[in-house]
Structure 1
């Protein structure tokens, strides 16, 4: 089991005779500053967009709890891995000790909070701060109609309760790859349904073949211009039991797709809605609807 982590300085400080005690204080002070910084940054994130932070954490928790955690819990926090062996039991214990975010925000004002829950703060900081490839932002309800107009749906489907916008890090490898692939091509939008426990990995690595069962249409990664077609592939799943957005939820991704020869279009059904068979990295996840 992973022990509680203590912060150290980034490099050794010189020790010269009687200055040893002073250097020791310097190390302790630097460690305290790092811990304080984590608490302040985390508190600001939870206050600025609590729903987005809650959903990102809930998707991570869904992957932690999944019997398929070995394939869908990626990225995995290195603090809970030793020589390639994942200590999921310890990870779940830390998840279980995490208080509701409304309560946590108040606790983070306490200057000694890190000493009382170091693993909880470290884990949340890793997920919400250190994983920089993707940023999540809640979308105001007034903007829902604009988002849903990205795709012209002809079939009736339930309206989403919440929508979150995903933004890639401009300097990240995924975003740079997207810019390279999409250059010189038109793009379009389509829906992708998947199990709740897949979305932690989808957020950080995109759509992946190994996370999908064989579709009714055959082997591949599928997207549809109809939300009603993608919804059955997104059954209700269990996330975080203390979530403010809901402990049970269903998520669908609204993806931007490059109009590329690798994207194969199929017309299915009387409404002639488009189903896209994607066999390469030609998507950019833009929104998650819930």
Structure 2
């Protein structure tokens, strides 16, 4: 395993990622940790950080040691409790009032569970840390990351940089109000299902967008949900759904990637899983992918023939299907170039318990 020193450019790249969108950066760390700690890590942790590869061998032991120390580089206090502060005063930060956007807020990190404690008089007591949420470069943890010294700190910095880096896409945090618009794209009827606690958009580079648009041509787009275990989403983001086929589901209606227009059905395939213990999103998460699908004959679904009320059987059945036609509200994509993940819906178990 190689342990090269980290250049100032790496520190600046980490700082920039955390500064531009700390919640999205937190999500990427959570998905990486979930894959790394999975019993299927050899298959779900793809891509694998190259600095932990020697020849053809993956050094999972070294990776797990450094992975478990990522939280130490994010919070310098061992048991902090966060409080929001704005012009109206100081209030405890809960998972349901996390402010988006961050402007006009500060975050007090108080090493006590009582904001009125005589041992602490925030924010001028000296034991509290103030984080300007609109300027994440002032977070103590960010200063810790960019000023790490040689040795183990270098490995942590390199790992965080690798997790947050990608050439083909970026992850952007969206306002929760955007959920209504996104749900209507895939589920116009608006079924009564729980709204996600966090919402993200995948923004692809020009080259990826151009390739997708070339494949699409003048065809329409279909939006549908894909549910999967949390540990799979690190690979899904980087490699696409074609590298993550669920054999248990594909065996009945044929080979392909399964999606649905019913969010409640997708949620059945996305159980809450262990993520990153120190995550702002919560340590136990569930994730749903909202995908763009090109309306092509290789997308099997219940669709009527043109100028007819009859179902187009050529679109309704996958080759070698054992269960017959694809059921209503399902899509089976048999051509990997016809779909991509566009949004992520994230549910936090901690938030639901507090409601």
Q: Shared fold (TM-score greater than 0.5)? A: yes
Higher helix share: 1
Work out which of the residue numbers 174, 179, 190 in structure 1 matches 2:213: 179
What is the match of residue 17 of structure 1? none
**Structure 2 partner of 1:259:** 295
1:287 equivalent in alignment to 2:343: yes
Match of 2:309 in 1: none
Question: Could you say if the C-alpha distance between residues 210 and 203 of structure 1 is closer, same or farther in structure 2, counting changes exceeding 3 Å?
Answer: closer
Cα deviation, 1:147-206, whole Å, max 9, x if unaligned, reads 2221224543211111100011113xx444322211221111000001111101110111
Corresponding position: 1:199 with 2:199: no
Mark the CA change 1:47 to 1:126 in structure 2 (over 3 Å): closer, same or farther: same
CA contact (8 A) 2:274 2:285 kept: yes
2:199 is aligned with 1:163: yes
| Counterparts of 1:285 and 1:101, CA distance in 2 | 30
Stretches of 4+ aligned residues off by more than 3 angstroms: 174-177
Distance 1:206 1:92 in 2: 25
Name 2:3's counterpart in structure 1. 4
8 Å CA contact 2:301, 2:328 repeated in 1: no
Q: Which residue of 1 aligns with 2:105?
A: none
Cα 1:126–1:170, aligned 2, differ >3 Å: closer, same or farther? same
SS in 2 for 1:141: coil
Choose 86-95 or 37-46, whichever is displaced more: 37-46
- CA distance in 1 between counterparts of 2:238 and 2:2 reads 27
Q: Distance in 1 between matches of 2:279 and 2:273?
A: 13
Q: How many residues align?
A: 256
Gaps of 5+ in 2: 77-138, 304-315, 317-326, 347-355
**Residue 89 to residue 155, structure 1, CA distance change in 2 (3 Å):** same
The structure 1 residue matched to 2:19, chosen from 27, 38, 47, is 47
TM-score, structure 2 normalization: 0.67
Partner Cα distance (2:10, 2:243) in 1: 36
Structure 1 distance, partners of 2:190, 2:142, is: 48
Q: Which runs of 5+ in 1 are unaligned?
A: 8-34
Q: Would the aligned equivalents of 2:52 and 2:58 in 1 still touch at CA under 8 Å?
A: yes
1:274 & 1:154 partners in 2: Cα distance?
A: 14
Pairing 1:57–2:92 present: no
- Equivalence map 1:2-41=2 (5 Å): 2=1, 4-6=3-5, 35-41=7-13
| 3-state SS in 1 of match to 2:46 | coil
Tell me the SS of whatever aligns to 1:4. Answer: coil
The partner residue of 2:279 within 243, 248, 252 is: 243
Kept in 2, the 8 Å contact 1:226–1:273? The answer is: no
Shift of 1:209: 5.7
- Structure 1 length-normalised TM: 0.81
Q: How does 1:111-122 map onto structure 2 within 5 Å?
A: 112-115=147-150, 117-122=153-158
